[in-house]
Structure 1
Amino acid sequence: MNEITKIILFSGLSGITVFLGGILAKIFLSKFENYSYKIEINHFITAFGGGIILSALALVLVPKGMEELSLFPMVILFLLGSSTFLFLDRYLSKKGGKVSQLLAMLMDFVPEAIALGAIFATDTQTGTLLAVFIGLQNLPESFNSYQDLIKSGFESKKSLIILLLLSFSGIVGALIGYYFLQDQPQVTSGLMLFASGGILYLIFEDIAPSAKLEHKWLPAFGANIGFLIGIVGEKLIGS
């Protein structure tokens, strides 16, 4: 199997979990409509996805972004990502939309997929482990993204089509990283810091508050489990 085929295969497998998460959310909403613990489980998964996104931010995106950039461009790119998503969130709020988890997933998934392609050029084993890590992240994130889309007024079929199309963005990102960015570490780092600013804003503006449930302690614990998965993934990648 040549290198390009491996990149397409592994980025495709890590991306298809975006669609699988949407399928699981559809089943959950239909089969457990009257289940007494439905709300608590839903909030747990929201916090779980937030924990995984936070781990990607803290363990992958920010550290890798800081490696190649000096202080001034690092600060500018992080603030640019933060302000971009602040204004985008305000715009969507005025339109009545609720797609914060979808935005966070894309801000996390796309730059990591680009990094995946760049890493595969020099380290196939690390690239493979990163693909597994990304795939695990995408499941709870897309689970919540599907519900965001439903709440925003999208029909179930259209929501699943959106997630299916987005699942292929990982392949595109990985190929871009492989062909154009393997010799451009500063560009890759800048992209990661821009994404980090947007993700951090979305976590504290939308995801963390929506995971809160009065007099219930299990949802918050989900964030710890999600972050732990990130720690395990980073340990495997770094080993």
Structure 2
Amino acid sequence: MQGFTLVLALAALPAAGNFLGGIAAELFKVSERVLSLALHLAAGTVLAVVGLELMPEALTGNPPWIPILAFVAGGVFFIGIERAIGFIRVRLGTGKETAGPLAIFSGVSLDLFSDGVMIGTATVLNPSLGFLLALGQVPADLPEGFAAGASLRRAGVPRRTRILMALSFTLPILLGATIGYFALQNAPEIITLSVLALTGGALTSVVVEEMIEEAHEGDTSLLDPVFLTAGFALFALITVYLG
């Protein structure tokens, strides 16, 4: 297996992790405290992705102010996502309570998209690096899929729709991998790094404005901060020992 086929196969690993997390949310009864813990774990993981992989790589660009500006633009992009979700919610006549879970779903999709871009570009440079990166994302993506599925379940989204949405996590990572393999490999380096920074800015906004807020809407746990830092530490361990 080589070339684009290898890229797609590697990108499918994190997507499978998210899907399994979503299925776990369907099989087990999720209390508000468990959901809060899962959201904090996922939030810590996403912050680690941004802080340990996306931005350090993005800041190697020259001049560095361009990726930094792209990071800020990621916050603007997040506002656009929120507006789009609000528009869809109004058109469908759904309640305000669904906005948070849908935004979290969008954030997980963005994270998977960034994973795909990194896997696609890394595999072009070194297939072994792409494999390690893809493998390292799997345990980090499990809590994200669980949190997204549990949030949608708590919001009253039908089970069939939840499962279809869990399956759809495959699409953003395959899209990101395709872009990373075909488009960004021949693009100027500053463009590739700016895309990573923009994604990092959007993900940071999702964590602060949606994931943490959603986690605190119901019963919380004293262990929430521990799970937040544990999520960060988990991805740090993966980065150090498998990256």
**How would you bin the TM-score normalised by the shorter chain?**
0.7 to 0.9
1:66-105 pair list within 5 angstroms? 66-89=59-82, 92=85, 95=89, 96=96, 97-98=99-100, 99-105=102-108
Listed as ranges, the matches of 1:124-135 within 5 Å are 124-135=127-138
- 2:194 is matched with 190
Paired residues of 1:62 and 1:192 also in contact (CA < 8 A): yes
Shift of 1:143: 1.0
Equivalent position amino acid for 1:229 in 2: L
Task: Among all aligned residue pairs of Structure 1 and Structure 2, give the percentage whose two residues are the same amino acid.
Answer: 20
> Aligned pair in 2 of structure 1 residues 216, 2: CA closer, same or farther (>3 Å)?
closer
The 3-state SS of whatever aligns with 1:67 is coil
Aligned twin of 2:92: none
What is residue 168 of structure 2 aligned with on the other side? 165
Structure 1: gaps (5+ residues): 33-37
Partner of 1:35: none
| CA RMSD, 1 decimal | 2.2
Counterpart for residue 157 of structure 2: 154
Contact 2:43 2:211 in 1 (8 A): yes
The amino acid that maps onto 1:83 is V
Structure 2 gap ranges (5+): 90-95
- For residues 216 and 2 of structure 1, the distance between their equivalents in structure 2, rounded to whole angstroms, comes to 46
Equivalent AA in structure 2 for residue 15 of structure 1: A
Deviation of 1:128 (Å):
0.9
Which deviates more from structure 2 when the two are superposed, residues 47-56 or residues 129-138?
Answer: 129-138
The question of whether the paired residues in 1 share the 8 Å contact of 2:36 and 2:220 is answered with no
Write the deviation string for residues 27-71 of structure 1: whole angstroms up to 9, x where unpaired. 123xx6xxxxx3322211111111100100100111111112424
Work out the CA distance in 2 between the residues paired with 1:87 and 1:181.
24
* Worse overlay, 112-121 or 51-60: 112-121
Aligned residue pairs: how many? 231
For 1:157-176, what per-residue CA distance to the aligned partner results, in whole angstroms no more than 9, with x for missing partners? 11111220222432332132
Q: Secondary structure at the match of 2:36?
A: helix
Query: Where has structure 1 moved over 6 Å in runs of 4 or more?
Result: none
Paired position in structure 2 for 1:208: 212
The answer to whether the 8 Å contact 1:50/1:203 transfers is: yes
Change in CA separation of 1:125 and 1:82 when aligned onto 2, cut-off 3 Å: same
Paired residue for 1:22?
22
For residue 109 of structure 1, what is the amino acid of its counterpart? L
Asked if 1 retains the 8 angstrom alpha-carbon contact of 2:35 and 2:150, the reply is no
